[in-house]
Amino acid sequence: MRRARAAELARPLAAFVVVLAACLGLFAVWQSRPEADAASAAAAGGVPALAPLPPDAPVADGPIVPARLQIPAIGVDATVEPRGTAQYENPFTGARVDGYGVPRSMWTTAWWSDGPRPGSGRMAVILGHAQAAHGAVFDDLADLRAGDEALLVDDAGAVQHLRVLGAPLTGLDKSTSALADALNGHPAGADVAFVTCGGEFDEDAGASEDNDVVFATVVR
């Protein structure tokens, strides 16, 4: 059933275009303020510990509202916040735009709750910060490779198992439509896009210049 959904995927992505085309600088405004993370990480920049997942956790059946994300290959084990569409000023163009609501902490992630749920047969978007002074949850996102595992967990403890599709896309220039183009041109089978900041930090804009994206597919 999941594999017979290419036409279905085209519909939600068309609906994303306005938001995606506008969200070119959305992380940079936040990631350049590491003091916002003071309450959520240990004094040395450590990640708050979550309880281990039970080995017999049930497999999620159908779409979920994600509450937790694990990516073992890069040491991610983080809360997922539902965050809707928000307005930002793009630091590179000065335009007031609609974009994704980003995580409130450097060590949590955010699911775009105005978009599809993971496992719905349409591509969901999960965002995390990177490049903060004391570290951030998606600092190593670009180190992921095809076949790496990711787990999404709902409030009831059901687990959705994902596998990374291909190499990360990096260098997506925030002053252009590169992020929108990448997400709308996602690979076949992409159920989730993980998005963060990348590239050099532009001192004049007060923002990192690029975005990085990793696509993953639900395997069970």
At residue 102, does pLDDT exceed 70?
yes
Percent of the chain with pLDDT strictly greater than 90: 52
* Residue-wise pLDDT tens digits, 27-67: 322 232 333 333 334 333 455 679 999 989 999 999 999 99
* Of 38-42, 95-99, 102-106, highest mean pLDDT: 102-106
Average pLDDT over residues 84-91: 83
Neighbours of 67 (CB within 10 A): 17
User: Which two three-digit tokens encode residue 183?
Assistant: 């997400």
Q: Which of 129, 90, 98, 139 is nearest to 115 (CA)?
A: 98
Say how far apart CA 40 and CA 47 lie, in whole Å.
8
**Is 22 in a helix, a strand, or coil?**
helix
What integer pLDDT is reported at residue 28 of this predicted model?
A: 29
Amino acid at 140: D
* Residue-wise pLDDT tens digits, 162-190: 999 999 999 998 888 888 889 989 999 99
pTM: 0.81
Provide the mean pLDDT of the chain: 79
What integer pLDDT is reported at residue 47 of this predicted model?
A: 58
Is the Cβ–Cβ distance between 111 and 83 less than 8 Å? yes
Domains annotated for the chain, with CATH where assigned, are 6-218 (2.40.260.10)
Instruction: Supply angle C-alpha 73, 74, 76, rounded to 5.
Output: 110
**Is 19 in a helix, a strand, or coil?**
helix
What integer pLDDT is reported at residue 94 of this predicted model?
A: 83
What integer pLDDT is reported at residue 65 of this predicted model?
A: 98
108 versus 98: which is more confidently predicted?
108
At residue 142, does pLDDT exceed 60?
yes
